[in-house]
Amino acid sequence: MAKKQFKAESKRLLEMMINSIYTQREIFLRELISNASDAIDKIYYKSLADDQLVFDKDNYYIKITADKDKRTLTISDTGIGMTKEELENNLGVIAKSGSLAFKQENELKDGHNIIGQFGVGFYSAFMVADVVTVISRALGSDEAYKWESEGADGYTIEPSEKATVGTDIIMKIKPNTEDDRYDEFLEEYRLKSIVKKYSDFIRYPIKMDVKGKRPKEGSDNEFEDYEEEQTINSMVPIWRKNKSELTAEDYENFYREKRYGFDKPLKHLHISADGAVVYNAILFIPENTPFDYYTKEYEKGLELYSNGVLIMNKCADLLPDYFSFVKGMVDSEDLSLNISREMLQHDRQLTLIAKNIKSKIKSALQSMLKDEREKYETFYKAFGRQLKFGVYSDYGANKELLQDLLLFHSSKEKKPVTLDEYVSRMPEDQKYIYYASGDSIERLEKLPQTELVLDKGYEILYFTDDIDEFAIKMLMTYKEKEFKSVSSGDLGIEADANDSASEAEDGDSKELFERMKAILDGKVTGVKASKRLKSHPVCLSTEGELSIEMEKILKAMPN
Ligand code: ADP
Ligand code: MG
């Protein structure tokens, strides 16, 4: 039986597309600039195969012109242009992508930069414009055509005039309504900032006539108006540049320009991966804790670019929670985008990139710890707590990855040390890794429970962060050594094999102890004579899993 073709209510389809694909209107500019860049790229690719066609980079650009009086915004390019048929096919058929066809016809594979693929981006112009006029002259033709549409009602095509090859997209910007303002799309600064945000790394110049005031020549206090054509995009993304050409300052400037933070980054990572997954990334470890870092408001994530075009501002899937402090961007050519190009399909590539990034961050931190200790300690002050949360969360699934990045204050060194450093200094007869929890190092240093351990010459880790003991409980052991709180009943120290003194001594003071217990009225489970104290008359110790400090924290937590 002959199959019937689906028909579509094209008017409704177009309306749906215009109004529901994109979450933000400003995206229209990204789409039109991407198309212009594709059009120039096509000339470039043709020139590779055609000796007659010389591609002189200086002749190719994209220009944005806003006319407030006429309320028009024009995007012009010196790209390949469209014939009458191409206008008909590419702009008259929804979901038809001339660019995708071009890629297929020319068998462009790796390293291609052509952005278009879905055949819908162009229509985003109708989010901000009542009328869209396209005047185009194709490469190799001296005829120009005008395509015009007011949206859902269809379009017209007629002969037109154009002096040079390329395309002008002229949008009649919608009037403001009570709820929606469109004026901003005629404002120089706004247009500039949209270009910077999404299209900064388009490889051809995006030009704009910029007005301003400047000091008059030869005068200190007189100013003159000027208007000049400026290129507003940076074109070559820093991550495609050669690492050897870049200075620490270049990375710092990038950090500042991108507003990743107001501080100076402690460290940057420049990754160019071309193994199983191809991507470039520039990542930063900030110096200071962002003010909202340890709150629910903080959003982790990296900027995600596909082929130099911004797709997502904060792609959370690229960073595990314990590295949520990392800032920066990732650019990859082989992501499967969804139709709005604002999100990704569930993507194997993305998972691979995330995994790769995670191990790069880990090694960067590890080498910082090894070679730049002071810097690492600064980092740890700002974000160590997050690493400890990382050890504790997911039932300790990441403890292997994170345990060597932890630091705790040492009684012996009087500064933060790693678990490895602690264990490597342990005398042979020391069974446990000892720790003491409390509010501050000063208070811990005076804690009676530490006396016996310190007297034995053993080192104690001082835990002053409420997460410390929880994280350690999740680790359970480090290099086969168990952790032991100095306030636990059995310290495993020979001299007092059992903390409590002999039964006899207990017996002697039995009455006294019972009276003490009665006075303390249910606040303690028992009163015993102890050998662990030297200069203090009394201390508290625990027998169960929970230390006194942990109990305090658990009690303070909201239910
Ligand atoms: P996509 O870019 O995903 O292919 P669009 O809806 O943005 O979809 O554009 C549809 C097609 O129209 C493009 O594939 C291209 O063939 C053509 N086109 C759009 N803008 C231009 C332009 N400025 N110059 C040349 N061709 C263009
Ligand atoms: Mg497009």
Number of H helices, E strands in the chain: 17, 19
**Do the bridges between strand 62-67 and strand 460-463 make them parallel or antiparallel, or are there none, so unpaired?**
unpaired
Mean of pLDDT values over 178-186: 95
Ligand nearest to the CA of 98: 1
What b/e sequence results for 460-471 when a residue is b if at least 16 CB atoms lie within 10 Å of its CB, and e otherwise? bbbbbebbbbbb
Which of 368, 402, 191 is CA-nearest to residue 283? 368
Mean of pLDDT values over 97-117: 80
Say yes or no: CB of residue 35 within 6 Å of ligand 1. yes
To the nearest 10°, the Cα dihedral for 413, 418, 423, 427? 0
Which of 330, 322, 314 is CA-nearest to residue 282? 330
**Do the bridges between strand 166-173 and strand 72-77 make them parallel or antiparallel, or are there none, so unpaired?**
antiparallel
- Token readout for 42 is 């096509």
Q: What's the CA-to-centroid distance between 97 and ligand 2, angstroms?
A: 8
Say yes or no: CB of residue 39 within 6 Å of ligand 1. yes
Ligand 1 pocket, mutate which of 13, 35, 145, 164 (most atoms under 8 A from CB): 35
pLDDT per position as a tens digit, 289-338: 999 999 999 999 999 999 889 989 999 999 999 999 999 999 998 788 87
d(CA 213, CA 215): 7
pLDDT value of position 338: 79
Residue 313 annotated as binding site? no
Where does the pLDDT of residue 230 fall: very low under 50, low under 70, confident under 90, or very high at 90 and above? very high
Say yes or no: CB of residue 82 within 6 Å of ligand 1. yes
d(CA 27, CA 341): 10
Residue 325 annotated as binding site? no
Does residue 498 surpass a pLDDT of 80?
no
pLDDT value of position 557: 61
Say yes or no: CB of residue 167 within 6 Å of ligand 1. yes
Say yes or no: CB of residue 133 within 6 Å of ligand 1. no
Residue 24, Cα to own-chain centre: how many angstroms?
20
Residue 174 amino acid letter = K
Residue 12 annotated as binding site? no
pLDDT over 70 percentage in the chain: 93
- Token readout for 131 is 């009328």
pLDDT per position as a tens digit, 542-557: 766 667 677 776 666 6
Supply the mean pLDDT for the chain. 89
Burial class (CB in 10 A: 0-12, 13-18, 19+), 521: exposed
pLDDT value of position 497: 46
Residue 363 annotated as binding site? no
Does residue 540 surpass a pLDDT of 50?
yes
**CB atoms closer than 10 angstroms to residue 283:** 24
Say yes or no: CB of residue 390 within 6 Å of ligand 1. no
Residue 81 annotated as binding site? no
Does residue 534 surpass a pLDDT of 80?
no
Q: What's the CA-to-centroid distance between 427 and ligand 2, angstroms?
A: 68
pLDDT value of position 544: 63
Residue 19, Cα to own-chain centre: how many angstroms?
28
**ipTM higher than threshold 0.90:** yes
Residue 394 annotated as binding site? no
Residue 341 annotated as binding site? yes
d(CA 539, CA 517): 14
**CB atoms closer than 10 angstroms to residue 76:** 20
d(CA 426, CA 459): 8
Which of 547, 374, 371 is CA-nearest to residue 472? 547
Full-model pTM: 0.82
- Token readout for 417 is 């040390």
Residue 557 amino acid letter = M
Ligand nearest to the CA of 74: 1
Which of 239, 209, 237, 241 is CA-nearest to residue 225? 209
Judge whether 80 and 137 are in contact, CB under 8 Å: no
Ligand nearest to the CA of 90: 1
Locate all alpha helices (DSSP H) within 133-277, ordered by sequence.
188-199, 248-257
- Token readout for 450 is 């530490």
Say yes or no: CB of residue 387 within 6 Å of ligand 1. no
Mapped to the 3 state alphabet, what secondary structure does 112-159 carry? CCCCCCCCCHHHHHHHCEEEEEEEEECCCCCCEEEEEECCCCCEEEEE
Say yes or no: CB of residue 332 within 6 Å of ligand 1. no
DSSP string, 388-422: HHHHHSGGGTTHHHHGGG--EEETTTSSEE-HHHH
Q: Which residues pair with 485 in a beta bridge?
A: 435
Between 468-475 and 373-392, two packed helices, what is the crossing angle to 10 degrees? 70
Ligand nearest to the CA of 42: 1
- Token readout for 416 is 């933060």
Does residue 404 surpass a pLDDT of 60?
yes
pLDDT value of position 556: 64
Alpha carbon nearest to ligand 1 atom 8, residue = 119
pLDDT value of position 111: 47
CA-based radius of gyration for the chain: 34
Say yes or no: CB of residue 74 within 6 Å of ligand 1. no
Q: What's the CA-to-centroid distance between 3 and ligand 1, angstroms?
A: 30
Alpha carbon nearest to ligand 1 atom 18, residue = 35
Ligand nearest to the CA of 37: 1
Percent helix, strand, coil in the chain, to 5, is: 40, 20, 40
Q: What's the CA-to-centroid distance between 333 and ligand 2, angstroms?
A: 16
Residue 82 annotated as binding site? yes
Alpha carbon nearest to ligand 1 atom 15, residue = 98
Say yes or no: CB of residue 286 within 6 Å of ligand 1. no
Kindly give the number of the ligand 1 atom that is closest to the alpha carbon of 119. Answer: 8
Q: Which residue has the tokens 């500019």?
A: 29
- Token readout for 546 is 């929970």
pLDDT over 90 percentage in the chain: 61
What b/e sequence results for 34-46 when a residue is b if at least 16 CB atoms lie within 10 Å of its CB, and e otherwise? bbbbbbbbbbbbb
Judge whether 286 and 260 are in contact, CB under 8 Å: yes
Mean of pLDDT values over 18-44: 93
Q: What's the CA-to-centroid distance between 107 and ligand 1, angstroms?
A: 18
Ligand 1 pocket, mutate which of 122, 124, 339 (most atoms under 8 A from CB): 122
Residue 395 amino acid letter = Y
